Amino acid sequence: MRKVLSGNEAIARGAYEAGVKVVSSYPGTPSSEITDFVKRYDDIYCEWAVNEKVALEVAIGASLAGRRSMTCMKHVGLNVAADPLMTLSYTGVNGGLVILVADDPNMFSSQNEQDSRNYARFAKVPLLEPSDSNEAKEFVKKAFEISEKFCTPVIVRSVTRLSHSMSAVDLGERVETASKGLENNIPKWVMVPANGRVRHVFVEERLKELQAFNSKSDLVAEEINSNEIGIITSGIPYQYVKEALPEASVLKLGMVWPLPLDKIVEFSKKVKKLYVVEELDPIIETELLAQGVKLKKLKRPLTGELSVDAVKKLFGLKVNRCKAAVKELPNRPPNMCPGCSHRGMFYAISKLKLFAAGDIGCYTLGLLPPLSAINSTVCMGASISMAHGIDRASGGEYAKKSVAVIGDSTFFHTGINGLLNSVYNKGCSTVIILDNRITGMTGHQPNPGTGITIKGEESPRINFELLCRAFGIKNVVTVDPFDVDECIRVLKEETSKDELSVIITNRPCIFADRTVITNPYFIDEDKCTGCTACTRLGCPAIAWDKKKKIAMIDESLCTGCGLCPKVCRFDAISQRGAK
C-alpha cells in the first residue's frame, strides 16, 4: 500500500514498522510532529521528556532493557543530549537505539544553523541521511538493523525541507522484535576509566567496520550517466542535483558518516570532474580532500538552504525564475497571537524599561516592536543563569533594572537548574515564569505543568509556586498578566529587593484552553482620542485607521482577553454583550 506522507510522519511509521517499543522526545521544530505521529501507534510507549538529555537517557534505559528505542529532537536539542551521546557511543546498545535529529538550514525557527553531521564525526557513530519520505521510513528501519549489528547508536538526520515536505511511501507491516532482556554487563555499561579505555578501542574498531560495511551496502547508490561530471551528494541536496543536473553522474550517499571511501574512490575514476554538493558545513568535501580524493571545489555559501536554482548557479547554468510574483508577496513578521497571555507582562516590562534576559519559546516574540521587551536570547534555559550573571557582574546594581523571562516548558527543560544555581549562590535576580500551561511555539505539546500526558491521560501537575518555595525562595508572587497595573506594581516591588524573587503568571495559552475565549471588544470611535496606547500592545486584532487617526479592533481576531481596555485612559474600549 502506498500513501503520501510528510517526512516526519514517515519517520514515525518507520519506527512503528521496525518494532520500536519506546520513544522519548522533547519537541522542537522541525522534529516535533514525529513524536505526535508516534503516539498514534498503541504498540509504542511514547512520552514528552523535560529535555533532550533526559529523552536520550530514557531511550538508553529502554535499549539496556533489551528493546528498540528512539528519541527525536531538533539540532540544538542534540547539544543538550551530547553528554549522554558521547558515552553511549562507548557503551553501545542492547536493543537498537536511533537518535532522530532534525536540522534547520536557513533557520526558519531556530537560534542557530548548526550541522548535526559534525556530531556523528565527533561521537564516532553512524549517521544516515534520507532524501525523501520513503527513504526516511526505510532508513529508520535500516538504522535499527545497523544499531544492533554494530552495537552502536545511530543518528538519522532530517532537515526542515524533508520533515515538512510530502512524498509517496510504501507502507509495510510492523515486525515485532523480541526483547533481548536486561543486559547485565558491567565492563560494557559501567564507564569508569578502566572500562572506558577498553570501550574506546572498541569504538575505533567499530568505525572501521562501519566504513567497510558502508562501501558494500545498499545505502550508497551509483548512477552513471555522463562521464564529464560526477557529483557526490546525499539527503535533500540529492533532489536538487537530480533536477538541476540530470545528465551528471551521481554517487548518492545514504550513510554520510563514516564515508564509504572505497566506493567514492571507485566512482571518482569514472568521471573527469568530481564535485561534492552538500548543505551547510563542507563535511564530505573536507574529509575527501584530506583523504587525497581529487575534487573540484564549488564556491558554495556555508549558510542557508540549497535549491535547484542554487545548484544551477554553482555550475554556471541558466536559472529560470518568476521575479514579479516574489516581489508582490507581503511581509508577514512573526507576532504573538491575539489574546496571548504573555503580552500584558511584556507591556509592563517595556513600560518600566527593564532589561529582560529572554529564553527560547513564544515569548521570544516579545522582542519585536511595539513591545520591544526582550534584550537577549541565547538558548533553552539560559535566561535565569544570564540574569544571575548580570547580577553578579554588577554587584547587584543591574539586578534592580533587569529580569529573566522564561516559559513553563523551558523552565522544566533547563531553566530549573539555573534557578537552583541562583538560590545556592545567593543571587538577587527577578525571575518571571510565564506559565501558559503548554509548550506553545512547537505545537502545543503538554509538559509537567499541564497536568496531562502526551496521550491526554491525567498526570500530576507541577505547582510552580510550591516548587519555588521548596527551593527556599521567599519572594514568590503569582500575578494575572492581563492586569497591567498589578504587573507594574509587582515588578517594581520585586526588582527593588536584595533577594531572589520569582513572579509567576497564571493565564493559559488560548490554544491550550479555548474556554478562555469570550466576546470580542470594540472601540467607540467617539471616545477614541488616537493616543495609540492600545496599539502599543502589539495585538494583531488591533489596527490603526490612518484616515480617521483612531484605533480599531478586528472582532474576528479578538479573543476577549480584556487587556486593551486596561491600557485605555478614555474608556473607549468595551466588550460586546457586556452590561
- For 14-65, what is each residue's pLDDT tens digit? 999 999 999 999 999 999 999 999 999 999 999 999 999 999 999 999 999 9
Instruction: Give me the pLDDT at residue 579, please.
Output: 63
3-state secondary structure 310-363: HHHHHCCCCCCCCHHHHHCCCCCCCCCCCCCCCHHHHHHHHHCCCEEECCCCHH
Residue 128 scores a pLDDT above 70:
yes
CA distance 81 to 316: 41
CA distance 381 to 416: 8
pLDDT above 90 covers a percentage of the chain that reads: 93
DSSP state of 462: P
Residue 324 scores a pLDDT above 70:
no
Q: 487: which 3 cell numbers?
A: 504587573
CA distance 160 to 163: 5
92: left (phi over 0), alpha (psi -120 to 50) or beta: left
Q: What angle do CA 134, 135, 138 make, to 5 degrees?
A: 90
Q: Which residue has the higher pLDDT, 324 or 435?
A: 435
The single residue listed with the C-alpha cell 514528552 is 48
Cα–Cα nearest to 256, from 94, 133, 166, 135: 135
Instruction: Give me the pLDDT at residue 514, please.
Output: 87
Instruction: Give me the pLDDT at residue 578, please.
Output: 74
CA distance 414 to 538: 29
Instruction: Give me the pLDDT at residue 335, please.
Output: 85
Each residue of 470-488: pLDDT tens digit? 999 999 999 999 999 999 9
Bridge partners (DSSP) listed for residue 501: 430, 475
State the burial class of residue 42 (Cβ atoms within 10 Å of its Cβ: 0-12, 13-18, 19+).
exposed
Instruction: Give me the pLDDT at residue 513, please.
Output: 86
pLDDT confidence tier of residue 325, bands split at 50, 70 and 90 = low
Contact call for residues 256 and 117 (beta carbons, < 8 A): yes
Residue 234's H or E segment, with its range, is: strand 229-234
Each residue of 171-229: pLDDT tens digit? 999 999 999 999 999 999 999 999 999 999 999 999 999 999 999 999 999 999 989 99
Cα–Cα nearest to 163, from 443, 455, 456: 443
Each residue of 69-114: pLDDT tens digit? 999 999 999 999 999 999 999 999 999 999 999 999 999 989 999 9
Residues in the chain: 579
The single residue listed with the C-alpha cell 505521529 is 37
| 347 φ, ψ (degrees, to nearest 5) | -60, -45
Q: Strands 542-545, 550-553: parallel, antiparallel or unpaired by DSSP?
A: antiparallel
Bridge partners (DSSP) listed for residue 22: 45, 69
Instruction: Give me the pLDDT at residue 323, please.
Output: 61
Each residue of 404-417: pLDDT tens digit? 999 999 999 999 99
Q: What is the DSSP string of 65-126?
A: TT--EEEEEEHHHHHHTHHHHHHHHHH--SS-EEEEEEE-TT-SS-S----THHHHHHHT--
The amino acid that residue 188 corresponds to is K
Q: What angle do CA 243, 244, 250 make, to 5 degrees?
A: 80
3-state secondary structure 271-300: CCEEEEECCCCCHHHHHHHHCCCCCCCCCC
Bridge partners (DSSP) listed for residue 458: 452
The amino acid that residue 476 corresponds to is V
Mean pLDDT of the chain: 95
Residue 326 scores a pLDDT above 80:
no
* Cis omega (within 30 of 0) for bond into 30: yes
Q: 86: which 3 cell numbers?
A: 558521547
CA torsion sign, 349 to 350 to 352 to 356? positive
Each residue of 495-546: pLDDT tens digit? 999 999 999 999 999 988 888 899 999 999 999 999 999 999 999 999 999 9
Residue 336 scores a pLDDT above 80:
yes
CA distance 264 to 215: 8
Each residue of 240-284: pLDDT tens digit? 999 999 999 999 999 999 999 999 999 999 999 999 999 999 999
Instruction: Give me the pLDDT at residue 577, please.
Output: 85
Each residue of 550-573: pLDDT tens digit? 999 999 999 999 999 999 999 999
Each residue of 364-422: pLDDT tens digit? 999 999 999 999 999 999 999 999 999 999 998 999 999 999 999 999 999 999 999 99
3-state secondary structure 528-561: CCCCCCCHHHCCCCEEEECCCCEEEECCCCCCCC
CA distance 446 to 441: 12
